[in-house]
Structure formats: C-alpha cells, structure tokens
Amino acid sequence: MNDDYLWDKTGQPDPEIQQLEEILGTLRYQPKPLVLPRRRNYFPLLAIAASILLAILAGSIWLRVRSRNETPKQQAQVETPTPKPIEAPKSPQDRSASNPPLQATNRIHKKRSVPSVVNREEALMAKDQLMLALRITSEKLSLVRTKTQPNQIKNQHRIG
C-alpha cells in the first residue's frame, strides 16, 4: 500500500481503497455557494412588539387597580369664623329676671375678647399641623389594617 495515494492522490492506488472511494463517493463533500434567503421574516419583530404591548397593558391595569384601592386624599377646608359683634349691655330696666347681672355680662365679654391677628395665625398654623398629624395617623392605621387582615380569596368556586 502506498501512503502517498491516501494524502495527495499520487502513486499507485490500492484496489480496496478505490472500492471504498466508489461506495462512499455519494457522501463526498460537494461545495455549494452560500445562498441567503431573500424573504424577510418579520415574526421575531412582531413577537417583540406584542410582548412590549402586553407589558404596557398589564402595567396600566395594575396602576388603575392600585389607584382605586388607595383612599383619596382629603383636603381640609379652612373657614375663618367671623366674630359676632359685641352688643352693648342692656339697661337695668330692659333686663329680665333670667338674664345675669350687668357685672357678670361684662366679665363674659372681657373673656371673649377678639384674638389678635398673631394669635389667630398661630391658631391656624396649629390647626394645620393637627390636621396633618391626623391625616398621617389615618394613613398609617389603614396601612396596618390592610396588612393585618387575612388574605381574602375572591371569586373562589368549589371544585367537584
């Protein structure tokens, strides 16, 4: 047997090797030029677009359900009370027996003196702080209530 024939087809071929070459000749490598498909496949692009659309739709539904479950923020309306005009004390002839004496009426009016502008502003600021504290406390209590309630399964149907 000549080894040169196996490597570069020079020399005398062996008859067994020639017979094997003829049998396996149909399976020999036949080079073909690379042919790329001209038709464009849009399926991957459509799948990506559909998944993005589904994600946006799911996110919007989640936000809508989440916003419905939240309690609406309540804004306190500040109404400034108008002070009642102080009436002049009645004369002793006009007073009936059920009315307090004149000295007691003067004391009441002195205690009900109209607050100064600074005191009123401080009172409104204190009221605003109190309303904010109450609103925060209410939010915290509702959060605790939702976390401590057992999970309720809605629309549960019996199987079987």
63-99 tens-digit pLDDT: 988 877 766 666 767 777 776 666 665 655 555 554 5
Q: Which residue has the higher pLDDT, 38 or 87?
A: 38
Residue 43 has pLDDT above 70, yes or no: yes
| H helix or E strand, kind and range, residue 62 | helix 43-69
Predicted confidence at residue 119, as pLDDT, reads 85
Predicted confidence at residue 100, as pLDDT, reads 53
Q: Is 125 inside a domain boundary?
A: yes
The label of the residue with tokens 């005191």 reads 119
Q: Is 11 inside a domain boundary?
A: no
% of the chain with per-residue pLDDT over 70: 67
**For 6, how many CA atoms within 13 A lie in the half-sphere containing its CB?**
7
Residue 58 has pLDDT above 90, yes or no: yes
Residues whose CB falls within 8 Å of the CB of residue 107, separated by 6 or more in sequence, listed in order: none
Q: Is 53 inside a domain boundary?
A: no
Q: Is 28 inside a domain boundary?
A: no
Residue 128: which domain range? Answer: 115-149
Q: Rounded to two decimals, what is the model's pTM?
A: 0.25
DSSP-derived letter for residue 129 is: H
Q: Is 124 inside a domain boundary?
A: yes
Q: What is the pLDDT of residues 129-138, one digit of tens each?
A: 999 999 999 9
Among residues 27, 24, 1, the alpha carbon closest in space to that of 14 is found at 1
Dihedral of the alpha carbons of 95, 99, 100, 106, in degrees to the nearest 10: -70
Q: Is 62 inside a domain boundary?
A: no
Q: Is 157 inside a domain boundary?
A: no
Q: Is 130 inside a domain boundary?
A: yes
How many structural domains are present in the chain? 1
pLDDT category at 28 given cuts 50, 70, 90 is confident
Q: Which residue has the higher pLDDT, 110 or 47?
A: 47
Considering only the C-alpha atoms of the chain, give the largest distance between any 2 of them, rounded to a whole number of Å.
156
